[in-house]
Structure 1
């Protein structure tokens, strides 16, 4: 039941996000979409992905987007609105995609998959959380790729800060 609530909330908020002209409302509806997706991850017992969703997307990216929208929302006393000129075509294409995906999901016999039939009722078994296992793997087996990825992200952040600075011509 909770899955359907989160799914409907994500779909309705996503549709509102795409169809609204007010960028601030679109940003807040993106917040609801991302929180709903995190709720779905919790229901799937993917606690690490749910926490990552909350920290990275809701805590970082979305806050940055909302601050950017709120700081630049008034340009010469005019509110910044998006120019939705293709809402009819976008809605038509999205509807066709939903119909096509629904048809393919209904035609596929998911319950006959072998790995679903052999799966027990207890999904997690003895394992209580995936965070501990992922943390141990990151700090032992995958420490070098983890550090390389963090250095690449740091270099990208420094490059973005350099590009964003106001360059004075001398």
Structure 2
């Protein structure tokens, strides 16, 4: 039941995100979509992927998008609007893809897959959380590449801040 709730919420907020003309509302509906997908990951026992979804996409990318929308708008007393003109074609293509996916899912005999039949006997009884295992691996075996990537991301952030500054103030 929760899966269907999260799936419907993700699809509806994703559709609203695509169809709205207000960019700020689109950003907030993207937030709802990403949170719904994180909820689906939790229901699938993919705890590391759910935490990564929350930390990277919801915490980082979405905040960057919302701040970019709010700070780059220099128009006074007007909301930022999209000039999308292909809503009918986009909705038609999305509907056809959705119908095709539903047809494929209904025609596939998913309940008779051998790995699903084997998994019904023991649902993650032996498996512990993957976050602890990945954390130990990150801080022992691959700590140098992890630090190099973090320094590269810091340099990229500093470069983006420098590019975004007004050149006349320097």
Shorter chain as denominator, the TM-score bin is: 0.7 to 0.9
- Please report the TM-score for the alignment, with normalisation by the length of structure 1: 0.87
Contact 1:74/1:80 (8 A) holds in 2: no
- Please report the TM-score for the alignment, with normalisation by the length of structure 2: 0.87
Post-superposition offset of 1:128 = 3.3
1:98-113 paired onto structure 2 within 5 Å:
98-113=98-113
* CA distance in structure 2 between the partners assigned to 1:164 and 1:27 by the alignment: 21
1:160 maps to which residue? 160
The reply to whether residue 131 of structure 1 matches residue 120 of structure 2 is: no
Q: Which moved more, 1:89-98 or 1:135-144?
A: 135-144
Post-superposition offset of 1:153 = 1.7
Post-superposition offset of 1:9 = 0.5
Contact 2:42/2:50 (8 A) holds in 1: yes
Post-superposition offset of 1:24 = 1.2
1:1-170 paired onto structure 2 within 5 Å:
1-73=1-73, 75-168=75-168
Post-superposition offset of 1:74 = 5.3
Post-superposition offset of 1:114 = 2.3
> 1:113-159: CA deviations, max 9, x gaps?
22222224433223332110111121223333323322332232232
SS of aligned partner of 1:75: coil
Post-superposition offset of 1:12 = 0.5
* CA distance in structure 1 between the partners assigned to 2:40 and 2:136 by the alignment: 25
* CA distance in structure 2 between the partners assigned to 1:165 and 1:8 by the alignment: 41
> 1:31-76: CA deviations, max 9, x gaps?
1111111111111111121112112211222122222223344503
**What is the aligned-residue RMSD (CA, Å)?**
2.2
SS of aligned partner of 2:167: coil
* CA distance in structure 2 between the partners assigned to 1:35 and 1:159 by the alignment: 30
> Which blocks of at least 5 consecutive residues in structure 1 are unaligned?
none
* CA distance in structure 2 between the partners assigned to 1:68 and 1:169 by the alignment: 20
> Which blocks of at least 5 consecutive residues in structure 2 are unaligned?
none
